[in-house]
Structure 1
Amino acid sequence: MSQLEVGSDGLISATYGNKTVVESGQLAVVNFSNQGGLRNVGSARFAQSSQSGDPIFGVGGQSGFGTIQTGALEGSNVDITQEMTVMIRAQQQFSGSARVLQANSDMVEKLTR
């Protein structure tokens, strides 16, 4: 075997020597009626649960299943600088609220003496 390829439809093709191409199989793609019900098992892996429903099998490129992209690395969908900015703002707002509550408590204490 000199080459192994996976197409966007999940078809696995092996090349033997220079010219002989043999289709070895096809990757299945699975969808669930309630993807939010899948159970997280860690390391970006999920498992079927009673809330997710039964798996719906298909192949890449079929309607509702997307395509398979080989040799690609999925990036994060989180912008760390934006998230840090949001966190700092929330922390400052919490601090300000705590100071207002403390000032209110101090005023009530002075009034009740």
Structure 2
Amino acid sequence: MNTSLDVIASGLDASQTMMNTIADNLANVNTTGFKQEVPEFQTLLYQNGIQPGGQSTGQTVYPSGLELGTGVQVAGIKDVETQGTLTTTNNPTDLAINGAGYFQVLQPNGQIAYTRDGSFQPNQNGQLVNADGFQVIPNITVPVNAGTVTIGLDGTVSITTPGSNVATQVGQLQLANFINPQGLQPLGNNLLAQTTASGNPIVGAPQTNGLGSINQNMLESSNVDVVDSMVNMISAERAYQLGTQAAAAVDNQLSELAQAASGS
């Protein structure tokens, strides 16, 4: 009976993890560049009473086994790497990636972080930075006398000055991609860090080597599917309820056994 309770407890933990993940998805439904998270589950070790194919006699084998599962565990939580909808902001330093890749920003500790959030703006020195003031890599500096700022699909940054229609290139944005984006470590603040699992960054200009294009005056919305999340939430809630009912049934059986033992 205690084994039954352990199995049920693992299922309840799995359902709670599913609910926590769904809650995080819904909380970030309006977060720029957020990728929907999906937990993955796998069975725990089995208790083998009879091995399938084992000898039942000297001439015969068991056609099936006696294998009892011990529950479920969370194997990992993966991001759904589908493209989010591009929404227009009409802010010339708002940038969205259409396709693969990540913007690069320099953290205060000197490490480079990666993000799909392209809500950038010039700082006091004209350098393009994110909402936390982290500098975009490579450095892009917009001169004080810039009239218009144009960022092309290929990441070229050019400006015009008042009284002149001639565009001058002042920088070139680059994107980074990874062999295994699922291996990136979330840091919070829409930032990700390279890990051994992700592999080294593959850096290049947009629209080269499979990298996406840059869309100016736009931001990438979260790719969270609200309807899908609500359906999954109902499923997780039902699974949790069934688990608690099963636990109550096992508890009743234990009580009956205890009463029978005391009566004997």
* TM-score of the two chains, using structure 1 as the length reference: 0.80
Change (3 A) 1:75 1:35: closer
Question: Is residue 155 of structure 2 the alignment partner of residue 6 of structure 1?
Answer: no
What secondary structure, in the 3-state scheme, does the structure 2 residue paired with 1:23 have? Answer: strand
Superposed displacement of residue 50, structure 1: 2.8
Q: Equivalent residue for 1:43?
A: 189
What secondary structure, in the 3-state scheme, does the structure 1 residue paired with 2:187 have? Answer: strand
Count of residue correspondences: 113
Superposed displacement of residue 56, structure 1: 0.8
What secondary structure, in the 3-state scheme, does the structure 2 residue paired with 1:68 have? Answer: strand
Gaps of 5+ in 1: none
Higher relative contact order (Cα pairs below 8 Å, separated by 6+ residues): 2
What secondary structure, in the 3-state scheme, does the structure 1 residue paired with 2:153 have? Answer: coil
**Separation in structure 2 between the aligned mates of residue 111 and residue 8 of structure 1, nearest angstrom:** 77
Change (3 A) 1:76 1:33: closer
Q: Which has the higher helix share?
A: 1
**Separation in structure 1 between the aligned mates of residue 152 and residue 251 of structure 2, nearest angstrom:** 64
Question: Is residue 242 of structure 2 the alignment partner of residue 93 of structure 1?
Answer: yes
Change (3 A) 1:10 1:38: same
Q: Equivalent residue for 1:72?
A: 219
Letter in 1 for 2:151: V
- Output the aligned Cα RMSD: 2.1
Gaps of 5+ in 2: 1-145
Which of residues 62, 82, 87 in structure 1 aligns to 2:231? 82
Percent identical pairs in the alignment equals 26
1:25-36 → structure 2 map (5 Å cutoff): 25-36=171-182
What secondary structure, in the 3-state scheme, does the structure 1 residue paired with 2:203 have? Answer: strand
Q: Equivalent residue for 1:61?
A: 207
Superposed displacement of residue 106, structure 1: 1.9
Letter in 2 for 1:93: L
* TM-score of the two chains, using structure 2 as the length reference: 0.38
Q: Which range is displaced more, 12-21 or 78-87?
A: 78-87
**Separation in structure 1 between the aligned mates of residue 223 and residue 169 of structure 2, nearest angstrom:** 33
